[in-house]
Amino acid sequence: MRRRIFWLLLGVVGLTAAVDTACWLWATRALSQGYAAWAAARRAEGWTIAGGPASRGGWPLHATLAVSDAELRSAALVWKAERVTLRIGLLNPSRLLVLPEGKQLLGLTNGPETVLAGALSTSLPLGADGPRPTADLRGQDVRLSLPGLAGSVRVASLQAEAGWAAGNALSLVLDTAGITLPPDMRPPLGDRITSLSLEAMVNGTLPEDGSPREQAARWRGEGGSLDVSRLSLAWGPLTLSGEAKLALDDRLQPAGSSVVHLAGYAEATDMLAANGSVTRSEAAAAKAVLALLARFPEDGGAAEVALPLTLNDRTLAVRSFRLTRLPLLVWPASQQ
């Protein structure tokens, strides 16, 4: 009896392994063919898709396809990674997981590149039926080396979602926590941002060909806009929340309006004065004006100020009071 049970269990294990291996072979073949078809379609659209030979793996629970020295380059953006792995779970093959490894480069074509590192993953739905897909990006201990900075911006946790809404609108959701800024950035409210999050909608058709400048001009000409329905920031003593509507002006510079709600403004103003970002007389005047505009919540929380902001001709202002002038946004004028 025991020998019979043993051989029965052995047969079940062997059959399970055989079925799993067959599923793995089929899935890796389908993954390889799907990647090749996707790359061919992008190349036909003018993209550059490059990388080393693809290698299959992941058995027994996953089907994976790994590509070293991966590079994606469109007319507007370029992305490179030392290695990227495409993974499908054999028990749940409804989503594709994209896992970049090592150093990554992200930037505008012919523009400055940002170096990324850390644990990043992107999840994409599989299948052509149903609504247009939504992509999920998650990251832990992400490090960004920005042009002109000696140190790196570190993000303890990051979660983003992008998907298509009604028409051609692109919805974006971003939630981050534990952002640490490098000392050479000279952050005015301290080197740690507790949290930053937003929800936004990009309206208008996003062009896929032409230089970044041409794409921006066409998007503007077709009524493109960015509607931010939720923006929240906790930085040092300051807490900010609000919403905004932005577009591009005739010089392709950001323009629009916003209403922001500030709490902790008195402490933040004192910090700006202490580190020399503003003079003490400017800080005192700002605190006096904000105190006049402040309202106290019914629940007894901290005083809050609602400020209507406008951005025109690169000038950020509260009503008629100019706050600062933003640097010129330069759009690359060529594709190559």
State the pLDDT confidence band at 131, using cuts at 50, 70 and 90: very low
Task: Please give the share of the chain, as a percent, with pLDDT higher than 90.
Answer: 31
- In this structure, are 182 and 109 located in the same domain? no
3-state helix, strand, coil in the chain (%, to 5): 25, 45, 30
Token readout for 143 is 């490090």
Whole-structure pTM value? 0.80
Q: How far apart are alpha carbons 249 and 225 in whole angstroms?
A: 11
- In this structure, are 32 and 165 located in the same domain? no
Q: How far apart are alpha carbons 100 and 120 in whole angstroms?
A: 7
Whether 135 maps to a domain, the answer reads no
Residue 128 pLDDT > 60: no
Pairing mode of beta strands 225-235, 192-203: antiparallel
- What's the whole-number mean pLDDT along residues 263-274? 88
pLDDT tens-place string over residues 47-77: 889 998 989 988 888 899 999 999 988 776 7
pLDDT tens-place string over residues 158-205: 999 988 776 678 899 999 999 999 888 888 889 999 999 999 999 988
pLDDT tens-place string over residues 18-51: 766 788 888 889 888 888 888 888 888 888 899 9
Total domains, the chain: 2
Domain that holds residue 122: 1-130
Whether 139 maps to a domain, the answer reads no
- In this structure, are 319 and 225 located in the same domain? yes
DSSP-assigned letters across all residues of 51-115: -S--EEE-TTTEEEEEEEEEEEE-SSEEEEEEEEEEEEESS-TTEEEEEEEEEEEEEETTS-EEE
Could you tell me which of 16, 118, 27, 21 has the C-alpha nearest to residue 64? 27
Whether 146 maps to a domain, the answer reads no
